[in-house]
């Protein structure tokens, strides 16, 4: 199967590679990016600086930080114009010039992009936000030790894993890309689950998303490990009803 990296899936850093996925995959992947929480948004000017030669002229663009994704676009993101969404694999370095009101962003697999803001204060805020994204810990399958299987559902298998760096136990859901791409419904379900977990971060009664990443064959979601199981299974074990005291305790 051709390798396809879904835009917006990765929690630590978002990546995009030159591929030719189907229109269905492109539309749903862009839909995920559109649904990510918007942290910052501003109208600015931007230009690319090639490795050799003179840089081009500045062009007016809309810049946004959605989740951990830097988006630069010409038109409304809701228009699903995938050509207007720039996502890069890995941020190498970021430099700011407060006097010139610019932030220069360098990516591992692309040109240097120079952003010019309306004020020094705006440039400083964006510089700090981009640096924060760049410093986020980037994880992969090699960072976790699989301890035991937890369960299997319609959309994937779940394993108890341990973070090799911190020792923290987490639940890791593994979703096969082959199964996901078999139907639009399966793809939408996987993307919606990923989106809901991020948008619900901070809610006390919902397991928190810790990491999301992908390999050539699978999508991965890592959440807090709830050792007591889920509420639905608990209610089912109790015969389908709970007393007021039990509900109050929960």
Model pLDDT for residues 72-99, shown as the tens digit of each residue: 777 554 444 433 333 344 566 778 886 7
**pLDDT reported for residue 80:** 46
**pLDDT reported for residue 118:** 93
CB 36 within 8 A of CB 195: yes
**pLDDT reported for residue 15:** 36
Kindly report the CATH number that applies to the domain delimited by 23-134: 2.30.29.30
Residue 152 annotated as binding?
no
**pLDDT reported for residue 52:** 66
What stretches in the chain show pLDDT beneath 50? 1-3, 13-21, 77-89
Tally of CB atoms within 10 A around 11: 23
**pLDDT reported for residue 228:** 81
**pLDDT reported for residue 4:** 52
Kindly report the CATH number that applies to the domain delimited by 141-235: 3.30.200.20
Distance CA 4, CA 19 (A): 6
**pLDDT reported for residue 143:** 95
Tell which residue, 92, 36, 89, 91, has the closest CA to residue 64.
Answer: 36
**pLDDT reported for residue 133:** 74
CA-to-CA dists, residue 60 to 31, 57, 75, 175, 233, angstroms: 24, 10, 11, 39, 53
CB 48 within 8 A of CB 102: no
**pLDDT reported for residue 84:** 35
Distance CA 184, CA 172 (A): 23
Residues of the chain with CATH 2.30.29.30: 23-134
Q: Which residue has the tokens 């991020």?
A: 198
Residues of the chain with CATH 3.30.200.20: 141-235
**pLDDT reported for residue 119:** 92
Tens digit of pLDDT for each residue in 41-74?
899 998 887 766 666 788 888 888 877 777 777 7
CB 28 within 8 A of CB 184: yes
């Amino acid at each position: 199967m051709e390798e396809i990296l879904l835009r917006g899936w990765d929690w630590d850093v978002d990546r995009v590679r030159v591929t030719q996925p189907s229109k269905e995959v492109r539309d749903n992947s862009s839909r995920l990016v559109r649904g990510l929480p918007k942290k910052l948004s501003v109208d600015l000017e931007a230009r690319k600086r090639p490795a050799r030669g003179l840089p081009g002229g500045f062009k007016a663009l809309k810049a946004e930080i959605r989740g951990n994704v830097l988006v630069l676009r010409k038109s409304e993101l809701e228009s699903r114009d995938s050509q207007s969404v720039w996502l890069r694999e890995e941020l190498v370095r970021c430099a700011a010039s407060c006097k010139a009101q610019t932030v220069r962003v360098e990516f591992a697999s692309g040109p240097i992009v120079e952003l010019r803001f309306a004020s020094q204060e705006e440039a400083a805020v964006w510089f700090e936000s981009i640096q924060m994204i760049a410093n986020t810990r980037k994880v992969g399958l090699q960072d976790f030790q699989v301890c035991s299987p937890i369960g299997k559902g319609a959309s994937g298998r779940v394993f108890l894993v341990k973070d090799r760096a911190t020792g923290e136990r987490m639940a890791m859901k593994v979703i096969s890309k082959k199964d996901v791409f078999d139907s639009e419904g399966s793809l939408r379900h996987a993307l919606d689950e990923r989106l809901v977990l991020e948008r619900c971060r901070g809610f006390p009664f919902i397991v928190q998303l810790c990491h999301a990443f992908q390999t050539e064959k699978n999508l991965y979601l890592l959440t807090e490990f709830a050792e007591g199981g889920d509420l639905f299974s608990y209610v089912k074990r109790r015969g389908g009803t709970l007393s007021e005291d039990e509900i109050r305790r929960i």
